[in-house]
Structure 1
Amino acid sequence: MTPFRIDESFARWSELLDLILASFAYMEGRIDPPSSATRLTMESLVEKAKAEIAYVVENAGQLAGCIFLRPEKDCLYVGKLAVLPSAQGRGIGRQLLDIAEETALNLSLPALRLETRIELVDNHSTFAAWGFEKTAEKSHPGFTRVTFIEMKKALAG
């Protein structure tokens, strides 16, 4: 499994969009509001790759996973961490988070931060097993109930 950084010159936007949509499909009907992944287009992915640090993992010529990273004041935000359903359980997510940790340390950022929906308790457990701790409960605009949690992982630097 080969990870590589992508930018606007990347040519496989349609395949990347399909990967993200397939990875996030299980959330449909489980989370409210719906995932922002459902609003992604090839054009918005190009813009996202220009504005953020993006990596993909290729396995046997097929895109199997991706991650988008955005430097913030005191951490590196992890977004759109996606693994193709047929490739899950092979360490691709862990490999992508290792890249995120290395990127954060190279940028002198002391932590990773991510958000996960309140309903996705399996994700909470997975991220906790990878060293993330819940740091906040938050709501999307227009919601009076908690809709997502923030998790952070402090990095040894």
Structure 2
Amino acid sequence: MEVVIRLAGLEEIPAVHEVMLMAFEEYRGKLTPPAGALSETVEDITKKITERGGAILALVNGTIAGSGQFVLHDQHVYIGRVSVLPSYRGQGIGKRLVRFIESYAKEKGLRESRLGVRLSIPDNIAFYSKLNYEAIEKHAYPDETDYWYIMKNTAL
């Protein structure tokens, strides 16, 4: 299995969007409030990443299997929407997506990465914990229907 992780061009943002929607579909109707990824548009992604960010794609044997997004801040990179298609999960692709963004940020002089994870999805918290992320902040959604952690990794 050949896995290639690479930056996505602006012309590939529709593919980044499509993978994200397919990966987040399992959460439709199960989270309150709903997952923001499910209402995000191609235009939203383009606007978010154009100034100080980017998007990446994971290809397995030439077929798109995952995607991710990031925004570079002064002191850290914020990683978001790490998405792996269900048929490609459990093969280390999510980890490779995260590590690619971390390496990219390190090349830009950053030494910390951050991301948000819902407490109602404990498997994701466990996934990022295994990648050396630790919770540094806890936030509540409106009406306290759910909570999320900001997690960070300073081992870039």
TM-score, length-normalised on structure 2?
0.88
Question: Any idea what SS the aligned residue of 1:105 has?
Answer: helix
Counterparts of residues 52-63 of structure 1 (less than 5 Å): 52-63=53-64
Distance 2:145 2:39 in 1: 23
C-alpha deviation, 1:59, in angstroms: 1.5
Equivalent position of 2:26 in the other structure: 26
Q: Residues 87-140 of structure 1: CA distance to partner in whole angstroms, max 9, x if unpaired?
A: 001111111111112112112112110001110011111110111001111023
Do 1:4 and 1:57's aligned partners in 2 also have CA atoms closer than 8 Å? yes
Counterpart position of 1:84: 85
Task: Identify unmatched segments of 5+ residues in structure 2.
Answer: none
Structure-2 residue corresponding to 1:113 = 114
* Partners of 1:32 and 1:147 within 8 A in 2: no
Is it true that 1:98 corresponds to 2:93 in the alignment? no
- Do the aligned partners of residues 17 and 145 (structure 1) sit closer, same or farther apart at CA in structure 2, a change above 3 Å counting? closer
CA distance in 2, matches of 1:56, 1:137: 29
- Where structure 1 has 5 or more consecutive residues not aligned to the other structure, the ranges are none
The corresponding residue for 2:143 is 143
Post-superposition CA distance 1:20-50 (Å, at most 9, x none): 1121122223321111111122333333442
**Residue 50 (structure 1) aligns with:** 50
What letter matches 1:138 in structure 2? Answer: H
Whether 1:8 and 2:10 are equivalent positions in the alignment is yes
Q: State, as a whole percentage, how many aligned pairs show the same letter.
A: 23
**Shift in Å at residue 62 of structure 1?**
2.1
CA contact (8 A) 2:16 2:55 kept: no
Q: TM-score, normalised by structure 1?
A: 0.87
How many equivalent pairs are there?
A: 153
**1:64 corresponds to 2:62:** no
Q: Which aligned runs of 4 or more in structure 1 are off by greater than 6 angstroms?
A: none
AA aligned opposite 1:122: D
Could you say if the C-alpha distance between residues 145 and 17 of structure 1 is closer, same or farther in structure 2, counting changes exceeding 3 Å?
Answer: closer
